[in-house]
Structures are given as C-alpha cells and as structure tokens.
Structure 1
C-alpha cells in the first residue's frame, strides 16, 4: 500500500531564500546597522529580523507582498528547535540578534517571559485565538499563532494486515501485546519528545509517571533523537521503518493517504495528546519595535493563517480558517488534550528531564 507524507522538516527548503545561513548568535554588523524606526514613523526601507525555529515556512510571495504593503524587508533566521530558540533569546536579551521571534511554545514560554525577553504588545486576535493565550502577564507579550497536539499515532494498515488490534490509549503501550512496536523521540533531544513526556506526567501524576516509563521501556519502546528520525525512519506508516506505533502529531494522518482510496492509513489516538501552541513576540531592546509589531500582525493576518496548515503542518490560531480537504477529514484536533501548566513546566522541567534520563538509560 502506497502512502504519501510531507515531512514537517522539508519546510526548511521553502525558507532557504530568506533564511540567514551560518550566522552567529549576536548577528552580523550589517544587521545591527538597520535604522531604528519608532512607532508612527515611516517603515519604508526598514529591515526586521525574525528569529524562528527550524520548521518555519511561508510562501515567498507572501513575504514579498508584506514588503510591498509595509516597506519592511523581513529576514528570517532559523535558530534551532523551540528549546534552542528560547535559550538563544534569553542569552542575548540585552542585545538581541532579532527584532521579533516566532516559535516559542508553551513548554518554554514561561522561562523566556520571566527573563524579560519580550516586550508588551497585544494585537487584535482572530476568532478562537483567545483560547490559546498563556495565563497571566505572558499573555501581554506573547501572541498565539498556531497549534498542534503531540499524540501517539498508529499505522492502522499494518495492524489490519497483521490481523492485530491496535492500541487505544497510553496504558496499552506498556502492554506486552505491543512489545517492541513503539518508537518515539527523546524528551531531552526533541520538542515533541518533551511534549509526550508531559502528556504522561499529566496522565499519571507526579507519583506515577516514572513507573509508567519504566514499564514502557521494559516493553521495548525505542528512542530516537528527534521526530524526523522516529517518524520517517522508524515508523511503518511513513513507508519506512519497522514499528507501527509512533509519537507524532494530531495532524499527521492528513499526510498518510492511500493513493488509490484517498483514505488515511494512520490515525492519532486523541486521548494521548499534549497540545503545543506556538507564539510570536516583539523582543525587548529590539532595534525596530514598531516594525516588529507589524510582523506579529502579519503572522495573524488571514493570508498567513490560511497557509499555515500546508506550509508548517499545524493548525492556525484563527478558528475560522478553512482547512484543506484532507485536514477536515483526517486531521482531527484533540478536543480535550492532557495539560500541564506553563508555570509547572518551567519550575519542574529540568528535574523531570533528569529523572526521565535516569529511567531510560538504566
């Protein structure tokens, strides 16, 4: 059976012409010489640097249209995954290497906010976006742009072919019936891996998650460094690999379509999900704060929100965006995702990761 999946990481190719390759953390002299633009002044000829995670992607024509409408040249600087991006922004907060950032998610947002990385800006939000806002002061500085949930995904075609029942929940993954069938990204090396760890903490609590992971590893769970390795190289549902259960996203089934039937060959277990929300914010000490605000507005615009699904493979913050046909049918968002508060994540992240490492390496 043939499947079709567009990897989230191919988004890098789309931004190749606007990305800044091989730049240092503090930026080049050319970037730091851009004229400061105060609110209310003309933005014509202004350059704004947007720090993002590595999977940011928008059509070039949209970025060109933004320049035509505002006079702003947008330079996109990929800066690792959400964790790396957050760390770089904290370390450079007194002399930021960008004006605005996108891609800080709810697993790292509180740290960046508490460190004073972001300046206050509260744009008008599209329909549905208010439900994605952070609590407290963080809502004043970070704006929700998109969301997706990390969930267990199952290769339904593999289970049908082998006449076996598929797992239905987190408990099943530790059942001997599913021994040696799960591959997942590591929590210390991957944002979705950390999200899955948080899902198990939410499900089993402080007193139970370590025991769950012990049972999971004893049942033959295989760890990969990142999502790409787990999904594209390890998961049978992506056309390669030998494991029919993987930790991926609630959007993933929209990209595993059988070419003959048009149906998805995989499904996400929506009772295993942890929601990740990605935010944008103007950086404190940005050289061009007024222009940076325009970039946040741009990311919230109907034009950008409409292309987020097929370019970044996540749901837009705007709940009124019409989703692609495959998404409407196969990419069902988790209605009641597992939750750990951003404050709890910030307070306990390192301790949880240390304990998790002890369990998976014993």
Structure 2
C-alpha cells in the first residue's frame, strides 16, 4: 500500500493523513454543527493552546527568524500563518527571500478552521503577517471579520493573471492561490477486470449499480465530504435532497473521513469499494509517493464529478510589516510560486498560464468543467443542507 502525505485544508478529525488531499483534512472542528459554533470551539482551542504552533525558517530550524547574526540580522521576517500541512518549496522560498530582502517563517497550527479561528481571535494584533488557508467554504465567514487588509489591484501586480471566476472577494482582502478539485476517483483495474463501464457523472453515481460501489465521507467530519455535499446542491439545486436519498438507499457507504475511505475501504488499497471520494490530484500522488514502485496510478478521476475547492491568502490586519507582507502575497501569485504548487501541495495553480509538471499532465490534467461553489450561497445554506443530510443519512 502506498501512503502519501495529504495537503491540509479545513477539516475535521479525519482528514490529514499522508497525502493530500488535497490539500486535504484534519483535526478538529466538526462541520456538522453550525459554523459559528464550530469556529467558537476552535477559538477556544486557539486561545488556550499556543504551544501547538510550529514555526520554521528556510534552514529548517525552529524559531522566529533564521537570521542570527551578521547582515541577515537586519532583514525583516515575514511570517506566514497557515495550517500544519502547508508546504513551501525551498527553492521558491529562497528566491522570494532574495528578491524582497526578507526572511520567511512559517507559523503552522492545526487545520484551516483552527488557523482561521486563531486569526480571528488575534485580529488587529496578529501572530504573523500573511495568512494562507481560507477556502471557499469559509470565505464569507472569514470576510465577515475585520481580519484582513484590502488591496487595490495595483498593489498586487500578479493578480491580473488570476481568472475573474476565482476572484471571489472584490476587496482583494483574500486572493485565490490554488484550486484543489474534490472528485470521485475509481479503481480502473477493478472495473476493467469485470468488464464494467465506470460511471461518468453525478447522475450515474446515484444509479443502484454504482451507488453500492461508492464510499463517501461525512460532511460533518470531513472537508471532502462537505465540499461534495455543497457540490451536489450547486449542481442539482432542489434535486439534491432526492439525489442523496438515492445514494443512501442504493447502498453508498459513508465513513467519517478521507483516511478511512481511501486506505481502508477503497479497493485499490485492499478495501471493498471501487469508487471513492478523493481529489483530482490523487492519481499523480499515487505515483509520486511510491518511491518508484508505481509508474502508472491505480486510480482515475471521474472529472464530471469534480467540485472546485479554492484556497485564499491575505495580509493580516495589524501586521508590523504590511508593505512587505503585501509584496510576499503578490509573490504567492507569481508564476514561479504557482508552478511549484502541484508537487509541493498537490493542488492546481490559480494561474491558468502556470505549467503543470509532467506527472499532472499525464495523470491529472485540470478538470475542464468543475462544479463551482459560491461562497455566499454556501454561507447562507450550509447548516440547513447539513441538517437535511443528517436526516437522510442518519
């Protein structure tokens, strides 16, 4: 069995394991309760457990800055506050530091929801300068708090390369950095060996012959599960409730998190379900993390089931280095940084002109028509949709 490091995202207890999930899922705040309550719980944790934050500098050491002596001691440190599985490519990091004359430090703590809760708790007196990790599920909530600094387009020269569809905040307080489509993947060999055609889209998944082959994650405890629930409502509208009844009645298995679904229930890893909710980046991750043991992924993606999970970054209000932090934010939109994202975090660049590595081009090209999730619609309906799902799934 190949295990891979998963990308972190805003998740609950299940999602953070060895690959990504993607950028995929973790500890803590259940999404089954109203978001305000969930964030309140995370705020309590954030206020009581600062010792869980890990700060690293470019040389890999722990501490507030890597500059200990000499001329480097005068270089300002720009701290990126994020979740615990965020990865910054060392070569790109060094290039940004050299270009801007700064040292970069990473303050990583918990999952995305916990990191955001801590940022809300310390608004105006932040523990860093740049925040990375708000996704479109929590975007409206994040913007409702006075946490981030608004920017004119002119302050972020690279922003013009980002498609308008991904720019969901007109104030540029939070700008899109990457896209990690959540999709149903399938065990290609399982279907081929049995002479069965795999499903093709959301509608076919609900057919009884396919529903009984599908393992999903709960939207209450898993980010991919939550994204998939939101996607069914975005794609099917009022038909989403009946769709979920058909999935559940047809035998779809629902587990708590991505790790259990992928490593324990999925046939490619010895389980019994050849259809699994995961990510568009899962196939190249299978190859990348195999240390050469795998040259062709076992899994393929049902691209018509993909939903866009977009991650955003912003400058924290109250940063002592706001001007430099804004420049760092702009570098996260640069072509060099964007092209480092796929193999660092197994997500897709927000910039369409960023080239994908060969591994992605071969096994995970960008989904052409992923379901888009409107943050405002999600914010207005999320808790109701989750309550509705609970009544169906039990």
- TM-score category (smaller protein): 0.7 to 0.9
Given candidates 4, 21, 27, the residue that maps to 1:6 is 4
Q: In 2 relative to 1, CA 25–290 (structure 1 residues): closer, same or farther, beyond 3 Å?
A: farther
Query: Paired residue for 2:282?
Result: 252
Query: Paired residue for 1:20?
Result: none
Q: Deviations over 1:172-228 (max 9, x none)?
A: 2222212532112221222221110111101221x3212221221222222233323
Moved more, 350-359 or 141-150: 350-359
Q: Give the gaps of 5 or more residues in structure 2.
A: 8-17, 21-44, 56-63, 66-71
Given candidates 65, 76, 89, the residue that maps to 2:106 is 76
Q: Deviations over 1:231-263 (max 9, x none)?
A: 2332223x3422111111122222345979944
Given candidates 225, 241, 246, the residue that maps to 2:271 is 241
**What secondary structure, in the 3-state scheme, does the structure 1 residue paired with 2:312 have?**
strand
Matches within 5 A, 1:155-170: 155-170=187-202
Given candidates 373, 382, 386, the residue that maps to 1:340 is 373
Matches within 5 A, 1:315-326: 315-326=348-359
Query: Paired residue for 2:231?
Result: 199
Query: Paired residue for 1:113?
Result: 143
Query: Paired residue for 1:356?
Result: 389
Contact 2:306-2:370 at 8 Å conserved across structures:
yes
**What secondary structure, in the 3-state scheme, does the structure 1 residue paired with 2:356 have?**
coil
**What secondary structure, in the 3-state scheme, does the structure 2 residue paired with 1:76 have?**
strand
**Displacement after TM superposition at 1:155 (Å):** 0.9
Query: Paired residue for 2:34?
Result: none
**What secondary structure, in the 3-state scheme, does the structure 2 residue paired with 1:77 have?**
strand
**What secondary structure, in the 3-state scheme, does the structure 2 residue paired with 1:208 have?**
helix
Query: Paired residue for 2:212?
Result: 180
Work out whether 1:144 is the aligned partner of 2:142.
Answer: no
Work out whether 1:269 is the aligned partner of 2:299.
Answer: no
Query: Paired residue for 1:15?
Result: none
Q: In 2 relative to 1, CA 240–96 (structure 1 residues): closer, same or farther, beyond 3 Å?
A: farther
**What secondary structure, in the 3-state scheme, does the structure 2 residue paired with 1:102 have?**
strand
Equivalent-residue separation in structure 2 for 1:274 and 1:179 (angstroms): 19
Q: Give the gaps of 5 or more residues in structure 1.
A: 13-22, 36-41
Query: Paired residue for 1:17?
Result: none
Equivalent-residue separation in structure 2 for 1:334 and 1:227 (angstroms): 21
**Displacement after TM superposition at 1:310 (Å):** 0.6
Contact 2:158-2:334 at 8 Å conserved across structures:
no
**Between Structure 1 and Structure 2, how many residues are aligned?**
336
Given candidates 323, 327, 333, the residue that maps to 1:294 is 327
Moved more, 62-71 or 269-278: 62-71
**What secondary structure, in the 3-state scheme, does the structure 2 residue paired with 1:125 have?**
helix
Given candidates 210, 224, 240, the residue that maps to 2:241 is 210
Q: In 2 relative to 1, CA 160–92 (structure 1 residues): closer, same or farther, beyond 3 Å?
A: same
Equivalent-residue separation in structure 2 for 1:79 and 1:45 (angstroms): 25
Query: Paired residue for 1:313?
Result: 346
**Displacement after TM superposition at 1:5 (Å):** 6.4
Q: In 2 relative to 1, CA 131–148 (structure 1 residues): closer, same or farther, beyond 3 Å?
A: farther
Equivalent-residue separation in structure 2 for 1:11 and 1:267 (angstroms): 16
Q: In 2 relative to 1, CA 229–290 (structure 1 residues): closer, same or farther, beyond 3 Å?
A: farther
Equivalent-residue separation in structure 1 for 2:325 and 2:333 (angstroms): 13
**What secondary structure, in the 3-state scheme, does the structure 2 residue paired with 1:300 have?**
coil
Query: Paired residue for 2:132?
Result: 102
Equivalent-residue separation in structure 2 for 1:355 and 1:88 (angstroms): 30
Moved more, 274-283 or 208-217: 208-217
Contact 2:3-2:19 at 8 Å conserved across structures:
no
Query: Paired residue for 1:231?
Result: 262
**What secondary structure, in the 3-state scheme, does the structure 2 residue paired with 1:210 have?**
helix
**What secondary structure, in the 3-state scheme, does the structure 2 residue paired with 1:334 have?**
coil
**Displacement after TM superposition at 1:282 (Å):** 0.4
Q: In 2 relative to 1, CA 65–24 (structure 1 residues): closer, same or farther, beyond 3 Å?
A: farther
Q: Taking structure 2 as the reference length, what is the TM-score of the superposition?
A: 0.76
